[in-house]
């Protein structure tokens, strides 16, 4: 039996311990904000926080998530929008939107550890999140705007 917390709620899982966390979140819990992209942890669409750190849920097994706290896009804000989400809207980041939950989760993790990131910091941390529409300049601008709100 695997026990974990998802978005603050105690959960249990009694299936294949090698199943990716992504499928547990989407198929078992109905938390579909986390997206399937490449299935190999390369694109970042499936990014969630595990114990506060950004991880790729498609390549994180349920056994690895055992005993940990998992936060999805559905729970990054307790009231209203998270400052990163607000900045995303104000900066008009999304084009197709598919990668955005993973981008936002990665950006939140960045700002949790670095309240005043430089362009280089942003580029380095966000480099594992692919935006096929190429909105990288808007993503960087939104992160800088959110950093001002969270500092």
What is the tally of structural domains in the chain? 2
Q: What pLDDT, in 10s, does the model give residues 13-72?
A: 999 999 999 999 999 999 999 999 999 999 999 999 999 999 999 999 999 999 999 999
Q: How high does pLDDT run on average in the chain? A: 96
Of 111, 89, 103, the C-alpha closest to 33 is 103
Domain that includes residue 113, residue range: 83-150
Q: Does position 95 have pLDDT exceeding 80, yes or no?
A: yes
Of 75, 108, 132, the domain-final residue: 75
Dmax (CA) of the chain: 44
Whether residue 47 sits in one domain with residue 22? yes
Q: What pLDDT, in 10s, does the model give residues 127-136?
A: 999 999 999 9
Whether residue 12 sits in one domain with residue 48? yes
Of 115, 124, 109, the C-alpha closest to 144 is 115
Of 44, 75, 106, the domain-final residue: 75
């Amino acid at each position: 039996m695997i026990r974990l917390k998802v978005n603050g709620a105690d959960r249990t899982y009694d299936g294949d311990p090698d199943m990716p966390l992504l499928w547990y979140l989407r198929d078992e819990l109905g938390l579909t904000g986390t997206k399937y992209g490449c299935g190999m942890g390369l694109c970042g669409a499936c990014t969630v926080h595990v114990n506060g750190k950004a991880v790729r849920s498609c390549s994180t097994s349920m056994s690895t998530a055992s005993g940990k706290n998992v936060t999805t896009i559905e729970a990054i804000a307790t009231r209203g929008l998270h400052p990163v989400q607000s900045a995303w809207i104000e900066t008009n980041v999304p084009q197709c939107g598919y990668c955005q939950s993973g981008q936002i989760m990665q950006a939140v993790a960045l700002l949790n550890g670095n309240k005043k990131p430089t362009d280089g910091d942003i580029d380095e941390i966000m480099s594992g999140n692919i935006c096929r529409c190429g909105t990288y300049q808007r993503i960087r601008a939104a992160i800088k705007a959110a950093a001002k709100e969270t500092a």
